[in-house]
Amino acid sequence: MLPPYSGRANVYTDNCENKKAEAVIVKTRAVILREVKYRDQSKICALYTREFGKISVIIKGARNPKNKLSGLFSAGNVVDVVLYKKQSRDIQLVSDGNLVLSPMVPDPDMERFAVLYQIIDLIRTGTESDEKNLPLFTLLAGTLQQLYRSGVNFRQLHAWFLLRLVSLMGFQPLLSNCVFSGEDLTTAIREMKLTELYFVMNPGGLALPAAAIQSSIKKRLIPVRLAEQLAALASARHPAGDTFISSPEDIDTLCSLLQEYCALHMEHSRSRKNISIVEQILVK
């Protein structure tokens, strides 16, 4: 399990008359999404934090081997970090930190790293800055906790994460009934002796071939076994080991399907947000 988290905010406040210039020392748990070298020995990192969502920070001297924070702010690490935070500043200053989880433990693994970088890059590019989202942070940190264990099917975990992510965004695919006719899929598969179903991108979910064939909506034909594995993943709290999927080809197909679905709806979500911002500006 993850070590217990206890954040403390407003430990210290600058004596500033301008409220926007106030600074506080705050502690938060964070996932390192990206690291970039800055000047001689420092780093600028993108973090996804429990308390503040996605933020950028600078760690002075982080590339100096003698610095106690050296190596701590590497992509994929989960850390408890202490920030000197100003609301008016785009890049926050890190003053301290402790390692919680690392992808290097128990053993470095190239397949683990491949899945890790896909997960954190999706969070980095698909989320807005300074928007707290505790369910998303909990999903991200919990997934990394599973990813860094031994004996885990990394690709299966990736598929599970993508399915959970789109559900958190409000685009959970309908997997029990046909998205067009509403018919119960388990009954229809048995009575019609179906071997394939359609996965429909929008509205998201499974559809009976007869109901989907006339639709021009983007869709992919998948075997019934994949549809059943999707439903199993959707209901799983943690997809440990090979509980649901044994074929690497099936795992790759599911990941490809869910990545396409996730990309489509995350782009749609960002577009809707941009439209909302424009509408607010026009009203003003």
140 inside domain: no
Return d(Cα 173, Cα 59) in angstroms, integer.
Answer: 41
Tell me: pLDDT of 2 over 80.
no
Of residues 25 and 279, more confidently modeled: 25
3-state helix, strand, coil in the chain (%, to 5): 40, 25, 35
Same domain flag for 178 and 262? yes
Same domain flag for 256 and 177? yes
What's the mean pLDDT in 246-265? 89
Amino acid at 52: F
Q: Of 29-33, 78-82, 108-112, which range is least confident?
A: 108-112
Residue 12: pLDDT band by 50, 70, 90 thresholds? very low
pLDDT tens digits, one per residue of 126-170:
899 999 999 999 999 999 999 998 888 899 999 999 999 999 988
33 inside domain: yes
Residue 79: pLDDT band by 50, 70, 90 thresholds? very high
Same domain flag for 100 and 173? no
Which of 105, 134, 149 is the C-terminal boundary of a domain? 105
Same domain flag for 273 and 181? yes
Q: Give the domain range for residue 265.
A: 168-283
146 inside domain: no
245 inside domain: yes
Same domain flag for 177 and 251? yes
Residue 1: pLDDT band by 50, 70, 90 thresholds? low
30 inside domain: yes
Asked if residues 129 and 54 have their Cβ atoms less than 8 Å apart, the reply is: yes
- For 88, phi then psi, to 5°, come to -85, 0
Closest CA to 261 of 121, 112, 111, 122: 122
Same domain flag for 94 and 181? no
Return d(Cα 23, Cα 116) in angstroms, integer.
Answer: 33
What rounded mean pLDDT belongs to the chain? 85
Q: Say what the pLDDT of residue 177 is.
A: 97
DSSP 126: H
Q: What is the b/e burial string over 29-54, where b = at least 16 CB atoms within 10 angstroms of the residue's CB? A: bbbbbbbeebeebbbbbbbbbbbbbb
Closest CA to 227 of 255, 205, 209: 205
pLDDT tens digits, one per residue of 161-187:
999 999 998 899 999 999 999 999 999
145 inside domain: no
pLDDT tens digits, one per residue of 16-56:
445 445 779 999 999 999 999 998 889 999 999 999 999 99
143 inside domain: no
Q: Element (H or E) spanning 53, and its range?
A: strand 53-59
Q: Of 2-11, 32-41, 223-232, 244-253, which range is least confident?
A: 2-11
What's the mean pLDDT in 190-209? 95
129 inside domain: no
Which of 78, 105, 132 is the C-terminal boundary of a domain? 105
Q: Say what the pLDDT of residue 183 is.
A: 96
Q: How many structural domains comprise the chain?
A: 2
Same domain flag for 99 and 172? no
CA atoms 100, 92, 124, 75: torsion sign? negative
Same domain flag for 91 and 181? no
CATH number at residue 34: 2.40.50.140
Which of 105, 126, 155 is the C-terminal boundary of a domain? 105
Q: Say what the pLDDT of residue 274 is.
A: 43
Residue bearing tokens 């179906």: 194
